[in-house]
């Protein structure tokens, strides 16, 4: 059967799935989204993703489109219909449909769309060799903690990375410190062997993978610091990696065309990838 999408109360073939031309997500990027990984048919960290969805919506004063229990039912039904085993679930909520006018409409019903995507395992070559990142000025707004569908700087950044032969772009604030990747959080293992990632705040999206990994790291008794780091510090680092729902823990071995450490994925990075994979597979979660 053709892949299905959920659109405002209906399951429809994805090829026929449409939203209204005056959906405020389409006209104003007035909405938020979540990408939830799926491993062996199970959503990874479903509740933390729904917590973040609720938070993003609350920050924009958009109502939840349905109760959390109903959202879970729809997610699971869509995954069942699409026989999703490994990949991700995408959910997007916008303020709804209304005649184009910047201010909030008086009465609009939040619009909810969900899709799923089956994905292949992460590329063995990328895991063995690590990936390259470039650095770019962070030109985003001051509320990057909201998982808004307004992603133009991220789109431009990722495209610049691809055109430079890299996998990701790390965005750098005016003070020279890395905020995060265009769709990933950024981590390093410093010269003196400390695991470092930027603290959660308005400058980054607080990744669910980031949060889960910090909990796992704590459980493993590995020391870490939540603080910003500069590009220079990253270039001196022993190891670097990125995290996200679609990449899990992915080693970074080049920054702006210079090798990180010995140019190979770091030992701690590889260990953390294994630890996270165990968590994602439902085993060994603390």
**Residue 240 in tokens:** 């670097």
In the bound state with ligand PDD, the residue whose beta carbon lies nearer, of 98 and 158, is: 158
**Residue 106 in tokens:** 């008086």
* CB of residue 110 to ligand PDD, shortest distance in Å: 20
Q: Does 56 bind ligand PDD (CB under 6 A)?
A: no
Cα end-to-end distance, the chain, whole Å: 38
Q: Does 243 bind ligand PDD (CB under 6 A)?
A: yes
User: Residues 12, 19, 35, 172: which binds ligand PDD (CB under 6 A)?
Assistant: 35
In the bound state with ligand PDD, the residue whose beta carbon lies nearer, of 108 and 252, is: 252
Continuous segment of H or E residues that includes residue 57: helix 46-60
Q: By rule CB under 6 A, what string of x and - marks binding of each residue 164-183 to ligand PDD?
A: ----------------x--x
User: Residues 95, 198, 210, 279: which binds ligand PDD (CB under 6 A)?
Assistant: 210
Contact in structure between 145 and 206 (CB atoms under 8 Å): yes
Number of residues that bind ligand PDD (CB under 6 A): 15
Q: Does 208 bind ligand PDD (CB under 6 A)?
A: yes
How far is residue 7 from each of residues 10, 65, 74, 90, 117, measured CA to CA in Å? 5, 12, 10, 12, 16
Stretch that binds ligand PDD, among 121-129, 218-226, 241-249, 265-273 (CB under 6 A): 241-249
Radius of gyration of the chain measured on its C-alpha atoms: 19
Contact in structure between 31 and 20 (CB atoms under 8 Å): no
Tell me if residue 147 is catalytic. Answer: yes
Q: Does 92 bind ligand PDD (CB under 6 A)?
A: no
* CB of residue 89 to ligand PDD, shortest distance in Å: 11
Q: Does 207 bind ligand PDD (CB under 6 A)?
A: yes
How far is residue 174 from each of residues 132, 159, 177, 231, 258, measured CA to CA in Å? 22, 21, 7, 12, 22
CA–CA dist 270, 50 (Å, integer) = 28
**With the C-alpha atoms ordered 270, 274, 279, 280, is the resulting torsion angle positive or negative?**
positive
Stretch that binds ligand PDD, among 121-129, 155-163, 205-213, 257-265 (CB under 6 A): 205-213
Exposed, middle or buried by CB within 10 Å (0-12, 13-18, 19+), for 122? Answer: middle
Q: Which residues pair with 239 in a beta bridge?
A: 189
Q: φ, ψ for residue 135 (rounded to 5)?
A: -120, 145
In the bound state with ligand PDD, the residue whose beta carbon lies nearer, of 170 and 261, is: 170
In the bound state with ligand PDD, the residue whose beta carbon lies nearer, of 108 and 276, is: 276
Stretch that binds ligand PDD, among 21-29, 95-103, 207-215, 259-267 (CB under 6 A): 207-215
* CB of residue 54 to ligand PDD, shortest distance in Å: 14
In the bound state with ligand PDD, the residue whose beta carbon lies nearer, of 128 and 155, is: 155
Q: Which residues pair with 31 in a beta bridge?
A: 94
Q: Does 230 bind ligand PDD (CB under 6 A)?
A: no
Q: Could you list the active site residues?
A: 147
Residue numbers of the site for ligand PDD (CB under 6 A)? 35, 154, 180, 183-185, 205, 207-210, 243-246
């Amino acid at each position: 059967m053709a892949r299905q999408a959920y659109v405002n109360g209906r399951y429809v073939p994805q090829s026929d799935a449409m939203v209204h031309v005056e959906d405020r997500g389409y006209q104003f990027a007035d909405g938020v989204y979540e990408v939830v990984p799926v491993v062996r048919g199970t959503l990874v960290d479903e509740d933390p993703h729904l917590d973040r969805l609720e938070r993003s919506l609350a920050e924009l004063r958009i109502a939840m489109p349905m109760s959390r229990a109903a959202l879970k039912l729809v997610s699971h039904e869509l995954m069942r219909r699409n026989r999703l085993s490994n990949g991700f679930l995408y959910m997007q909520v916008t303020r709804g449909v209304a005649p184009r006018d910047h201010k909030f409409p008086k009465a609009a019903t939040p619009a909810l769309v969900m899709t799923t995507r089956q994905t292949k395992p992460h590329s063995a070559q990328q895991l063995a060799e690590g990936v390259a990142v470039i650095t770019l000025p962070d030109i985003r707004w001051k509320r990057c903690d909201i998982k808004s569908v307004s992603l133009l700087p991220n789109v431009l950044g990722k495209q610049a990375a691809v055109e430079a032969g890299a996998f990701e772009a790390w965005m750098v604030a005016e003070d020279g410190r890395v905020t995060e990747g265009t769709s990933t959080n950024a981590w390093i293992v410093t010269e003196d062997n400390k695991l470092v990632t930027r603290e959660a705040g308005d400058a980054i999206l607080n990744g669910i993978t980031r949060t889960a990994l910090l909990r796992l790291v704590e459980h493993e008794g590995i020391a870490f610091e939540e603080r910003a780091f500069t590009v220079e510090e990253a270039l001196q680092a022993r190891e670097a990696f990125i995290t996200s729902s679609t990449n899990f823990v992915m080693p970074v071995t080049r920054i702006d065309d210079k090798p990180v450490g010995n140019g190979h994925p770091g030992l701690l990075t590889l260990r953390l990838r294994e630890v996270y994979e165990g968590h994602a597979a439902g085993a060994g979660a603390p």
